[in-house]
Amino acid sequence: MTKPKVLISDKMDPNAARIFQERGCDVDVITGKTPEELKAIIGQYDGLAIRSSTKVTKEILEAATNLKVVGRAGIGVDNVDIPAASAKGVVVMNTPFGNSITTAEHAIALMFALARQLPEADASTQAGKWEKNRFMGVEVTGKTLGLIGAGNIGSIVASRALGLKMKVVAFDPFLTPERAVEMGVEKADLETLLAKADFITLHTPLTDQTRNILSAENLAKTKKGVRIVNCARGGLVDEKALKELLDSGHIAGAALDVFETEPAKDSPLFGTPNFICTPHLGASTTEAQVNVALQVAEQMADFLVTGGVTNALNMPSLSAEEAPKLKPYMALAEKLGTLVGQLAHDNLAKIAIEVEGAAAQLNQKPITAAVLTGVMKQYSDTVNMVNAPFLAKERGLDVREVRHDREGEYRTLVRVTVSTSQGDRSVAGTLFGNGQPRLVEIFGIGIEADLDGDMLYIVNTDAPGFIGSIGTLLGQSGINIGTFHLGRREAGGEAVLLLSVDSPVNEDVLAKAREIQGVRLIKALKF
């Protein structure tokens, strides 16, 4: 039997090649190739192991006639054309947890640097000034650290901060009270964190929900004298507002390892007193680079030799026999998960996935993974069906699967129920005869709708003329309605309106809609 052949095209720890060989792969280490040179040789390889230098473009993939897997030693896969890889049947893997400790330690290092003004004191001393009285720092002992994001890296930062005798307040929609107790932190909403924290560190991916989470408005709510550290993603902090509040003295210091635009060759923050920056060094330690190299080699070798899948970004864990039957259900399940993730994401503690009818006769694990993918992708930019269950477990979510043998109103049904601080919230969907997913119930109200593209979700008081008012507003705003779906508990009671629209509904339109009489809740959705 011919051994799988792997190319390592970027500089990587030498032990990665050894692992490939030990696990039954032939491996070549050829680095520094131009795109044209890589295209000329890539056709002979089954696997391609990369870091950040190699760009796996559509053109490279078209030349990769035997390629089965691309493995990125690290988290970010911006240098891989994932849609093109998926179209070619090439699995894309990363190593999202290999540099967690390193990134957490960098955040702690920057926190200390801010507390004691180390970069400025170093520059002053080396300039021969000896300004001993100029640099008056603060202790971290006894101070409150506000943690935005309490996942893998955030939990490590919390552990280190507690070891430094700090108090830790954490904001994370997926942090359960039980997990908070286990971590030794106080669970809080964002406003409480902003008001309490002496230091704030961010440990969340950049998604629609987290983009600009420290906006000008939220930065203004922080405690005077706060110090802010971001080693997560650029775009989480309003850099212009940060500059203004540093200049005014409201924010005592800020340290960024990441910027909205990278490489950050020019920034209004550069040269600002009490501002520290590093060039995206969060994962830059010898240990982290060794860890991610070894992990990517292990994952790729397992896939090529045994078919095992770990941390794949574009491949569900399915056998060839199960795939045709399960794929329509997985599409339905992911849409239901995406729906509850957008509508009921705060304080999630439990998720129940129930199947009945024809769905109850299938392997439920891929359906559950698809639901979790929909829920978790609201907060993670690398989630997929393989890693979604792991991320849910890491967040402390209680995931329950229920299979009903009973026959219900529908031939087949998938129901997703999440427990929130406001109580249980449930959505349900079915498959039509052509296998198309369709919503049939939302939060106890019967409503049939396709979940696709841009949509608008409205809870309102059932009253004459309401639909016309919404339609008029959208028309005046240049937003075309594709379809609309109605449901209500009772005449004159609570009603739900679900609209598909041809373009996204911005915040200005949502604000105007909230002023329409009868509107209780309105939210833009994306599928």
The enclosing domain of 500 has a CATH number of 3.30.70.260
Does residue 389 belong to any structural domain of this protein?
A: yes
- Give the CATH number, domain containing residue 179: 3.40.50.720
Nearest to 329 by CA among 378, 363, 281: 363
pLDDT of residue 52: 86
Domain boundary among 429, 451, 473: 451
Same-domain status, 456 and 435: no
Question: Which DSSP category does 360 fall into?
Answer: G
pLDDT at position 303 over 90: no
Same-domain status, 113 and 191: yes
Is 203 tagged catalytic?
Answer: no
pLDDT of residue 318: 55
Does residue 394 belong to any structural domain of this protein?
A: yes
pLDDT in tens, 305-363: 887 777 888 875 555 456 678 889 999 999 999 999 898 756 678 899 999 999 999 88
Same-domain status, 104 and 218: yes
Domain that holds residue 483: 452-527
Q: What confidence category does residue 386 fall into, taking pLDDT thresholds of 50, 70 and 90?
A: low
In the predicted model, what is the mean pLDDT of residues 162-182?
94
Does residue 388 belong to any structural domain of this protein?
A: yes
pLDDT at position 37 over 50: yes
Strand-pair category, 226-230 with 251-256: parallel
Find residue 147's DSSP bridge partners. Answer: 170, 201
**How many domains are there within the chain?**
4
3-state secondary structure 53-100: CCCECHHHHHHCCCCCEEEECCCCCCCECHHHHHHCCCEEECCCCCCH
Whether residue 263 is preceded by a cis peptide bond, meaning omega within 30 degrees of 0, is yes
Does residue 236 belong to any structural domain of this protein?
A: yes
Is 106 tagged catalytic?
Answer: no
State the DSSP string of 105-135. HHHHHHHHHHHHTHHHHHHHHHTT---TTT-
Q: What confidence category does residue 75 fall into, taking pLDDT thresholds of 50, 70 and 90?
A: confident
Strand-pair category, 69-72 with 47-50: parallel
Same-domain status, 120 and 200: yes
Percent share of the chain, pLDDT over 70? 97
Same-domain status, 136 and 40: no
pLDDT of residue 320: 45
pLDDT of residue 346: 65
Mean pLDDT of the chain: 91
Same-domain status, 109 and 94: no
Same-domain status, 110 and 213: yes
- Are 359 and 379 contacting, i.e. CB atoms less than 8 angstroms apart? no
pLDDT at position 449 over 70: yes
pLDDT at position 245 over 90: yes
pLDDT at position 209 over 60: yes
Same-domain status, 456 and 446: no
Does residue 430 belong to any structural domain of this protein?
A: yes
Does residue 153 belong to any structural domain of this protein?
A: yes
Q: Which of residues 105 and 486 earns the better pLDDT score?
A: 105
Q: What confidence category does residue 391 fall into, taking pLDDT thresholds of 50, 70 and 90?
A: confident
One-letter amino acid at 317 equals S
Q: Which of 131, 139, 217, 262 is catalytic?
A: 262
Dist. CA 413–CA 448, nearest whole Å: 13
pLDDT of residue 321: 59
Same-domain status, 77 and 204: no
Dist. CA 382–CA 213, nearest whole Å: 19
Does residue 282 belong to any structural domain of this protein?
A: no
Same-domain status, 130 and 35: no
Phi and psi, residue 74, nearest 5°: 145, -175
pLDDT at position 160 over 90: yes
Same-domain status, 262 and 342: no
In the predicted model, what is the mean pLDDT of residues 286-309?
89
Same-domain status, 189 and 268: yes
SS3 243: helix
Q: Which of 203, 280, 395, 425 is catalytic?
A: 280
Is 160 tagged catalytic?
Answer: no
Does residue 396 belong to any structural domain of this protein?
A: yes
- Give the CATH number, domain containing residue 353: 3.30.1330.90
Q: Which of 72, 179, 233, 395 is catalytic?
A: 233
